[in-house]
Structure 1
Amino acid sequence: MTQWWALLVIAHLSVYLAAGQQRHSKALYPYRMRRGAFSLINPTFQSSEEDVNLLFEILLAGVQIQDGERALLIADEELASLRSVEKLEVICEDVLPKSLPEVRRLAAELGRRRRPLSWQDFERTVLTLVYAAQTLARVDGQQQRREAWTDAVTQLFRTLQRDLGPS
């Protein structure tokens, strides 16, 4: 089941890359420039089919997205050492929402959207879903907090599922 879903995500990203579609819309993911890297004003990890395959490989190898410095931990040392992974680190550290209110705001906004996501927003939503699911797994005790993260994960998943569905 997990591989099937991952294959759909990769297929969807590939279609967006091949078509070169970019939609102008309100920023779902406001960029917090902490690094001051001008070349990464609007960082996007995937700009080629090889990047799509690399992201798929990273996700399958195991990745932890956390809050704070060193937000991205890739289990495979060889993959983690690739220069192109720097963009993914910037996205995970500076672009993805990390607090529950930020993730809930994003999930609600995505739930109201009626048009397909741009490939950049799709990529970031997948990564936000990974972060939110990992955070949910670490929530101890607090039932209300756990339910809020569960709701956010469910909304993010439904957004991606809807976006992958027939147009």
Structure 2
Amino acid sequence: MDRTVTVIVLICCSTQVCGAQRRTRALYPSVFRVKRGTPSLVSPIFQNSIEDINLLFEILLAGVQMEDEHSPFSIQDEELNSLRRTQKLQVICDDVVPRKLTDIRHLTSELLRQPLVLRREDFERTVLTLVYAAHRMLSAAGHQRDAWTESFLDLYKAIKQDLTAQ
């Protein structure tokens, strides 16, 4: 009897671990393939302090370039762009945040299907994906603009869902 309980507990634990790993990979699979693989960028996150949050706000206010899925992320303000702390943000935006419409639709589908509280790094990546979708939405026309608008709204719903779940 004791052995049966142990087996059941092991099966439940492994199912939860596999489910959690699958959930992370499904949201941001590119985080495991960061091109600039320094140890500090294995699972990059930009916001580690209030100063980082303020810097991100300042960067977004100053302006960023995220034209399409092939162009690199760049900060328009040269002084902000030269800061060492912005390197992680550039890696996250270039290598982790999805930039193809199909990838963003897959992400929003995953986010809206299972309403869980996002981990801090997943929340940050979702907000950065929302910013990217807003850029693409404004520069697109016709049917493409409608598709980007729909993705933007779905990302907004996912973020709102996460904020109200806490």
TM-score range, shorter chain: 0.7 to 0.9
> TM-score normalised to the size of structure 1?
0.76
CA–CA distance in structure 1, aligned partners of residues 140 and 61 of structure 2 = 23
Q: What CA distance in whole angstroms lies between the structure 2 residues aligned with 1:61 and 1:113?
A: 35
What residue in structure 1 maps to residue 138 of structure 2? 137
RMSD after superposition: 1.7
Give the equivalent residue in structure 1 for 2:51: 50
Structure 2 residue identity aligned to 1:95? V
Report the count of equivalent residues: 141
Q: After TM superposition, give the deviation of residue 147 of structure 1 in Å.
A: 2.1
Is this contact kept in 2: 1:44–1:91, CA < 8 A? Answer: yes
Task: Map 1:66-145 onto structure 2 (within 5 A).
Answer: 66=67, 67-69=69-71, 71-141=72-142, 143=143, 145=144
Normalized per residue, the structure richer in helix is: 2
User: Considering only CA atoms, is the larger Rg found in Structure 1 or Structure 2?
Assistant: 2
Q: Percent identity between the aligned chains?
A: 50
Structure 1 runs not aligned, ≥5 long: 1-23
Quote the Cα distance in structure 2 between the aligned partners of 1:101 and 1:138: 18
The answer to whether residue 150 in structure 2 is matched with residue 148 in structure 1 is no
Q: Give the number of the structure with larger relative contact order, counting CA–CA contacts within 8 Å between residues 6 or more apart.
A: 1
**Maintained 8 Å contact 1:64/1:73:** yes
2:163 is the alignment partner of 1:164: yes
Q: Give the structure-2-normalised TM-score.
A: 0.77
Matched-pair contact (CA < 8 Å) for 1:62–1:75: yes
